Amino acid sequence: MPILPSEPPPRRYTSSRGKRLSPPAALRLDPTPAAPPPAAPSVTAPPAPITPHPAPPLWTIHSAAELLTLDLPDSRMLIADLVPAAGVVFLAGPPKCGKTVLAVQIAIGVASGCDLFNEFPILSEGPALIIEVDDPSGERAIKQYLSAAPAFAVTDRWPVHIITKVPYSFGPKFLEWLDCRVLDFDIKLVVIDSYTALRPSRQRACDIVKVERDEVSQLDALAKKRNCSFLVIHHDSKGSFGMDWSDRSAGTFALGAAAEGQIHMARFSDLSETATERLVRSRGRHYGGVAGVLRFRETSLDFDLVMQGAASHLFGELVTLRDEFPFGGFTPHLIVEKLGYSRATAHRFIARLLQAGAIVKTQYGLYRFADAIAEKLK
């Protein structure tokens, strides 16, 4: 029987020492199949042209020529240089500095038509509404302010309304409730004490800036819709010490950005804790604002205007000069000797007072109080 040839046995690759080696890479069997060749690019139709979407109904687009022809209402004031006729104004300051007293005094002025501090005219008088939810004894405190007010000594029929219990926090239901109260009494000014007391709880992972801006923007829109002013009392933040006075309110920057204006009230750090003078400054979106010094009067439980102008924030330093130099004239050398300032600090101090118009130079190196300031410091 013929012997059929068989396949040769596989070759073994060994080293010179007899150690078995792997076959060369060219002879190995690759278990993974080769990748297919790339497909030819397919020919597709060109993209269709993008048509612009129509603007939403709430959008209003005007050209410059169209805008110039629009009949838009001018910005008006409720109290000259202090409170606009429509919109939200924040009255902020540290605790227990007299914000509620000032707010009630403003409400009485609007309701009675009497000029505020006998200096700021009430340009549009009308009923006022005070919403007091910050002070648990708010009714008793407001009763004392009203009974001692000079305007109520003439008549007690000025249209001032007080609410001490509010069923809602800031939100749609509160705005609807407030809108009904404004319409019921034909309100010109609403005092809300305070934003912190009516501020709702925040949800987790919310954008606090947008939330606060929406709250104030909706409140401001309601005020402008009803042509009245909302004076919202607020507090300073503990971490705002050293900032500009307009940035000290608690919360984000969106609060001030959405409001029409801001009034800030503070004590003078150079005066004693028992001092009754307060520094008040205002700034608005469409008005310049003022700065002044108020003094609390125990007899009428309200504030009186001591002075206003660029030197108001220097009132504490002016009182120090008055006490040290009761007879008027002073020099940089005397300031260094009496107040303990360095020579450079004394000259900077005098330069600030000169720039504010609080002192005048009588001769070389000698200064005195300006006549108007000397009258206020008596």
pTM for the whole thing? 0.79
Q: How many helices (H) and strands (E) does the chain have?
A: 12, 13
Residue 229 falls inside a structural domain: yes
Residue 146 falls inside a structural domain: yes
Query: What is the pLDDT tens value at each position of the chain, 378 positions in all?
Result: 555 555 555 555 555 555 555 555 544 555 555 566 666 555 555 666 656 655 555 667 888 988 888 887 778 899 988 999 999 999 999 988 999 999 999 999 999 998 999 899 999 999 999 999 998 888 899 999 988 887 665 555 678 999 998 989 988 999 999 999 999 999 999 999 989 899 888 888 888 888 889 999 999 999 999 999 999 999 988 777 778 887 888 777 878 888 999 999 999 988 888 899 999 999 998 888 899 999 999 999 999 999 888 889 989 888 988 888 887 788 999 999 988 889 999 999 899 889 888 889 998 889 998 888 888 887
316 exposed, middle or buried (CB, 10 Å; 0-12, 13-18, 19+)? middle
Residues 111 and 258 in one domain: yes
Residues 87 and 229 in one domain: yes
Beta bridge partners of 191: 130, 231
Strand order in the sheet with 277-284: 160-163, 128-132, 189-193, 229-233, 87-92, 261-266, 277-284, 291-297, 302-308
Residues 258 and 324 in one domain: no
CATH of the domain at 253: 3.40.50.300
Domain range enclosing 133: 77-199+208-238+245-264
Residues 96 and 216 in one domain: yes
Q: How far apart are CA 161 and CA 127, in angstroms?
A: 8
Residues 89 and 222 in one domain: yes
Residues 130 and 219 in one domain: yes
Residues 337 and 258 in one domain: no
The count of structural domains within the chain is 2
